[in-house]
Amino acid sequence: MSTLSITGRTRLYGIIGDPIQQVRSPEVYTRKFAEIGLDAVLVPMHIDRNEIDAVLPTLLRLKNLDGLLVTTPFKANALAAADDVHSRCRRIGAVNALRRDANGRWQADMFDGEGFVRGLLSKGLVVSNKRALVLGCGGAGAAIAVSLADAGVTHIALCDLDDAKSQALAAQLNSSGEGCMFVASEPNARDVDIIVNASIVGMKAGDSMPAPFESFDSKQIVGDVVLRPPGEPTALIARAMECGCSVVTGIDMHSGQIDAIVEFFQAS
Amino acid sequence: MSTLSITGRTRLYGIIGDPIQQVRSPEVYTRKFAEIGLDAVLVPMHIDRNEIDAVLPTLLRLKNLDGLLVTTPFKANALAAADDVHSRCRRIGAVNALRRDANGRWQADMFDGEGFVRGLLSKGLVVSNKRALVLGCGGAGAAIAVSLADAGVTHIALCDLDDAKSQALAAQLNSSGEGCMFVASEPNARDVDIIVNASIVGMKAGDSMPAPFESFDSKQIVGDVVLRPPGEPTALIARAMECGCSVVTGIDMHSGQIDAIVEFFQAS
């Protein structure tokens, strides 16, 4: 907790999602703003998922709103609402941050994948020329696949409970990317170096593994986007630690994102 | 300043206006919420005056937004956007607070006048059977006139630079109220007991009097809605103090409002 005073001059940032109660960004970013001397707060903004396309464009007209974070299930809607988007967002089909630029235009970018890759690299792990398996082909999975490819991963297997989703994502990424092959796949952890859960399995207490993995090789790297309190890892991360693997948790991934997003907000 | 932490569960309140930088409510109400143990913040929400009727109804669809304060120039727009309004608001034609009730309906009320009358009464001043002069026939002037009448004032002279405005307000209040006569008038302070500035004159540093008053009788009560820092009274309040009058400042009026509005927010 930090000492904080909100005045009429305080700039506004928000996080939109449905549900919204579980998000940790308001605390984290508001503290970060105070640390860098920015008179701003980041508050939760709960939008009904049936109303997003009506509410979001109007929300962006608040004149003292300088930026938004975007969480489930609005990452594609936010892409559509932005004026200008980073090219990787069109490949991914999603964004997770918007900022208002000096001309009043809304710029969007996607940091889920960059956060994960920063998390890997900050642990001294090597990514280039590796093979990866990504579980879950929603916005987070697509973002991580693109960022892993941009960081040098050469082969990525994409899995989803919905086969059509993994096939569509593989086709989409193969058509727009270079130097990495994307394939729709069953969740098979053999012959891959990096396994990443980008699905929501693990978010609820008592959730089991996102796929029926028995064990891992200690040389494999296992990551999970699901954000759990320290000391309460997801079943996937717990199994990987038992097997002696290097792990990248939701906390690692989110830490990697924060600095990148604050830089993005400040650039406007 | 208070120790404050914003989480995903923190409830949201806002103040809408154009401009917004000058408002003090975010600091005051956020501190008040903390004092009463309510996990909520009140943040400035700057809406362009040309976009209010498009933006406000949509803003009210944010699911974790529980209440709004309304300042210039949106008090009539907010009346139109509310689902249910207190009867006095229709007489005044304006509201300055909205809350979401348990059924999701937006309730509106007007506390500008109640704040002023509470400010008077808290100083032990007597209102009943008095005659008053109100300068400025916008939302604040109308609210103060109605609350003074409800508190027992029997004759109220209404003044505005725009004669049509004072005449329209007098006609409107005479048709809806009982026990008090409202008349459109020149700003003549003779033969009145209470003089109130409800115009924006005094808001800017260096502003002069809202009307060419030379002096006051020490028995007269002089009020001013304009909010100035302690020790920097408006020209009107400074003159009244020189003449030995009892005064009710913008600070007194706003103090009177805060408890009433927090009760209103909490009732939902």
CB contact under 8 A, A43 and B6: yes
Q: Give exposure, B189-219, as e/b (b: 16+ Cβ within 10 Å).
A: beebbbbbbbbebbeeeeeebbbebeebeee
Interface of B with A in 7-26 (CB under 8 A): 7-10, 12, 15, 18, 20-26
Contacts of A65 in chain B (CB under 8 A): 45
Average pLDDT of chain A to the nearest whole number = 93
Q: What is the pLDDT of residues B142-172, one digit of tens each?
A: 999 999 999 999 999 999 999 999 999 999 9
Q: What is the pLDDT of residues A111-138, one digit of tens each?
A: 989 999 999 998 999 999 999 999 999 8
* Cβ-defined contact of B27 to A6 (cutoff 8 Å): yes
Burial class (CB in 10 A: 0-12, 13-18, 19+), A190: exposed
Question: Judged by CB atoms within 8 Å, which residues 34-53 of A form the interface with B?
Answer: 41-48, 51
Tens digits of residue pLDDT in A47-81: 999 999 999 999 999 999 999 999 989 999 999 99
Q: CATH assignment of A11-110?
A: 3.40.50.10860
Q: Which residues are within 8 A (CB) of B60 and not within 5 positions of it... i.e. 6 or more apart?
A: B68, B81, B98, B100, B106
Is there a contact between A6 and B26 if contact means CB atoms under 8 Å apart?
A: yes
Checking if the pLDDT of A221 tops 50, the result is: yes
Of chain B residues 42-101, which have a CB less than 8 A from chain A? 42-48, 51, 54-55, 58-59, 61-65
CATH code of the domain occupying B113-253:
3.40.50.720
Write out chain B residues lying below 8 Å of A59, CB-based: 58-59, 62
- Give the pLDDT of residue B1: 41
Low-confidence ranges of chain B (pLDDT < 50): 1-2
Please state the rounded mean pLDDT for residues A231-242.
95
A64 CA: distance to closest CA in chain B (Å): 5
Over residues A167-189, the pLDDT tens digits come to 999 999 999 867 899 999 999 99
pLDDT at B2: 43
State the pTM of this model.
Answer: 0.84
- Say how many C-beta atoms besides its own lie within 10 A of residue B19's C-beta: 14
The pLDDT tens digits of the residues spanning A14-56 come to 999 999 999 999 999 999 999 999 999 999 999 999 999 999 9
- For chain A, what are the domain ranges? 11-110, 113-253
3-state SS, residue B140 = helix
pLDDT of residue B268: 61
ipTM: 0.83
Closest CA to A213 of A241, A243, A189, A184: A189
Q: Report d(CA B96, CA A92) in Å as an integer.
A: 44
Q: For the segment A251-262, what is each residue's pLDDT rounded down to a tens digit?
A: 998 888 998 899
Domains A11-110 and A113-253 belong to one CATH topology: yes
| B23 interaction partners in chain A (CB closer than 8 Å) | 7-8
pLDDT of A135-148, one tens digit each?
999 888 999 999 99
Choose from B20, B63, B72 for mutation: most chain A CBs within 10 A: B63
Distance from CA of B266 to the nearest CA of A (A): 20
